[in-house]
Every structure is written in C-alpha cells, then in structure tokens.
Chains A and B, each alone.
Chain A
Amino acid sequence: DGGITQSPKYLFRKEGQNVTLSCEQNLNHDAMYWYRQDPGQGLRLIYYSQIVNDFQKGDIAEGYSVSREKKESFPLTVTSAQKNPTAFYLCASSIEFSGRGQQFFGPGTRLTVL
C-alpha cells in the first residue's frame, strides 16, 4: 500500500522545546516538501528537497530545520526559534522536483504549543 505517512497526528509542545515531525514515503519519489497551514489559510512552503542529501529553504524556513539522509524520509524539526509554531503541518512528495507533476500529500500533523 503506497503512500505518505506522517506521525504523530497530534503533537503538543511546551514553549522552548524542539520537536520533530516524521514524514515517510514509499512511492520512490525524489522530491519531498514540508508545508505549514494556518486556519483558513493556504499552504506555505517551509523546506523542500529535490533529491536525497539535498534540501532548500522555502518561503518560511526560519525556526525550522530538515534532513534528507534517506530517499524515503524527510523529517522536520520545529525549533524553539519558531515563535508561533501552532499550525497544521503537511508533508508531500512528487516523482521529480519540477512542478510539472502532481504532489501526493500525507494526512498531516497538528502541532499545538502549550
């Protein structure tokens, strides 16, 4: 059963803590993406990776970090430097980076800062 998985579904963080959101895909896709979605808003790109061991900042990378050590995995760390991290986080992948093809999305992780 191919697809993208994200875990956990819900995550609570105390102020000052770093947290890591998991994203795994078994679609053999080269490109992976992290988006942030605030209530009633569209998707804003945090980071993207065109290929393993490579990643670039998106529009709102400050306070976030990523790694791409394996093709299947693209974890996102929300650091304490992110001042307003409460949001819905979506991971996606595509066969290749160019926007010519569709993106496949995971179910999302809802992060709440207590």
Chain B
Amino acid sequence: SQQGEEDPQALSIQEGENATMNCSYKTSINNLQWYRQNSGRGLVHLILIRSNEREKHSGRLRVTLDTSKKSSSLLITASRAADTASYFCAVAHSGNTPLVFGKGTRLSVIA
C-alpha cells in the first residue's frame, strides 16, 4: 500500500502533556501533510512538509520528516481538551497521483 500508516491508532493523555503521532510510508514522496478531523466533521489541513524539509512549526505543532526512514511525526505541545480529534497523515507521491490518506490516530485529551 502507498498510504501512510499512523501510529498509535489511539492515544489518551492528560491536558498539558505533549502528544506525539507517527506516520510511516513506503515510497518516495513529494510532500507529507497532516490533517485534523473533529468527530463528524470534515478534515482541516494543519501543516505540509516538503521532502527537502526536516522540520516545520506552526503554533503548538511541530512536524518532522525523516526521508531516510520514510517517517514523519506530529508533536502537539501543551495539549488542551480542544485538541481531542483524529489526526491523519497524507502522502503526496512524486508524479501526478492523488494524495493518499492513512487511517489516523485518535487523540483524547483529558481535562
């Protein structure tokens, strides 16, 4: 499969803790994207990291990309109850092919 595989499938943490989610893929990519989905809603784009980038930040989000290991991680620092959602990685492979989404990580932040 060309899709990204997220790990863990589910994660439960206390408010204020950091949350780390990982995404692995199998073939070369143009970029990797992270999305968030609140229950019963559409996905919202969080961050895009290109294959020649190693780290990007956006507010409390930090994304890293290791192309040698074909993996990416999403770190949410100082989590809040409002961060409770599912988080998906999506890989954009080289060439003219659609984004491929993984199955997601369900994050629960307990107040």
Give A contacts to B, CB under 8 Å.
Answer: 4, 33, 35, 40-43, 45, 48, 58, 88, 90, 92, 97-108, 110
Kindly list chain B residues whose C-beta atoms are within 8 Å of the C-beta of A107.
41-42
Q: Is the CB of A42 within 8 A of B102?
A: yes
B contacts, CB < 8 Å to A: 3, 30-31, 33, 40-45, 48, 88, 90-93, 96-104, 106
Given A42-B3, A42-B102, A42-B104, A98 contacting B41 (CB threshold 8 A): no
Q: In the complex the two chains form, is A99's CB within 8 Å of B45's CB? A: no
12 contacts between A and B (CB under 8 A): A35-B101, A41-B103, A41-B104, A45-B98, A97-B98, A99-B30, A99-B98, A101-B48, A103-B45, A106-B42, A107-B41, A108-B40
How far apart are B41's CB and chain A's nearest CB, in angstroms?
Answer: 6
| Majority secondary structure, B binding face | strand
- Residues of A close to B104: CB separation below 8 A: 41-42
The residue that A48 contacts in the complex, of B31, B40, B98, with Cβ under 8 A, is: B98
A108 to B96, CA, bound (A): 26
Q: Is the CB of B98 within 8 A of A100?
A: no
Closest residue of A by beta carbon distance from B104: A42
Given contacts A41-B103, A107-B41, contact A102 B96 (CB under 8 A): no
* One of B41, B42, B97 near A99 (C-beta < 8 A): B97
**Of all chain A residues, which has the CB nearest B94?**
A99
Contacts A4-B42, A90-B43 known; list 13 others, CB within 8 Å.
Answer: A42-B101, A42-B102, A42-B104, A43-B101, A98-B92, A98-B96, A99-B90, A99-B91, A99-B98, A105-B42, A105-B43, A106-B42, A108-B41
A42 touches B88 (CB 8 A): yes
Most chain B CB neighbours (cut-off 10 Å) among A41, A101, A106: A101
Chain A: minimal CB distance from B97 (Å): 7
Point out the residues of chain A lying under 8 angstroms from B43, CB to CB: 43, 90, 92, 103, 105
